[in-house]
Structures are given as C-alpha cells and as structure tokens.
C-alpha cells in the first residue's frame, strides 16, 4: 500500500511562512520523483514544485520561484515544502504526489499517487 499524508497547512498572514510535510508509506521517496501541486476554488490544479530522485534537482513554477523550497528527508521518508513570503494568491489546497515509475531515467513524470491535501489560507 502506498499512502501520502500531507500536514502543516493552516492560517497565516501575508509575508509569513509555512512548512508543509508529506509523509510517505511504502517505497522510499528517495527513488521516485516527488512533487507538490495546489488547487484553489474555481481553478484547475497547478504544478508548484518537483524534486528528482536521482540528483535531488528541484523545479519550480514561476509563481513560487524564489519563495518556495522543496526538499526530501529520506531518513523519515518525507518530502517538505518550505513556503516563505506567502501571498493571498497562495491560498489553496496543497497536494503531495509521487511519480508512478521508480528510478525514472526518461519521459515525463506521471503522478499517480496523491495525498488528501492540506489547506493553506493566507490573509492580507
């Protein structure tokens, strides 16, 4: 069984920070590409950040680049998303996702495992 459980969401004011965590069961996150997405009411799901299994290379959406940081904590089989300088437009449900293919060396990731999401609300 593969399970992803997000935590760390909450209510903050603009300019503050939050740290989201994604605890994974099953196979280690160290061998899979991992990612964070978010979805706000009335909008489609948006890619936020990803980290590769091979070198830990991070990729970010332009909307969060320079403010958010994705990382892995392999000893705890957990992926984190540090969110700094939060803005009201960051308000959304944030989801953790895992690539379907272990040790991927080619092709685009296909995220088939998702967490239940954690709500982040940023007030001005």
Asked if the model's pLDDT at residue 1 lies above 80, the reply is no
Residues forming a β-bridge with 78: 23, 73
What is the distance, to the nearest Å, from the Cα of residue 49 to the centroid of all Cα atoms in its chain? 6
**Strand bridging mode 68-73 / 118-123:** unpaired
> Tens of pLDDT along 67-79?
999 999 989 999 9
Listed in sequence order, the residues at least 6 apart from 39 whose beta carbon sits closer than 8 Å to its beta carbon are 45, 46, 92, 93, 95, 117
Q: How confident is the model at residue 9 (pLDDT cuts 50, 70, 90)?
A: very high
């Amino acid at each position: 069984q593969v399970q992803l459980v997000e935590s760390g969401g909450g209510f903050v004011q603009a300019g503050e920070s939050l740290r989201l965590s994604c605890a994974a069961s099953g196979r280690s996150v160290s061998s899979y590409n991992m990612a964070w997405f978010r979805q706000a009411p009335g909008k489609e799901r948006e890619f936020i950040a990803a980290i590769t299994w091979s070198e830990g290379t991070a990729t970010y959406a332009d909307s969060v680049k320079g403010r958010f940081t994705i990382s892995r904590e392999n000893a705890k089989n957990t992926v984190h998303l540090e969110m700094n300088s939060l803005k009201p437009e960051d308000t959304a449900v944030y989801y953790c996702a895992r690539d379907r293919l272990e040790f991927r060396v080619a092709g685009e990731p296909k995220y088939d495992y998702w967490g239940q999401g954690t709500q982040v609300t940023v007030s001005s």
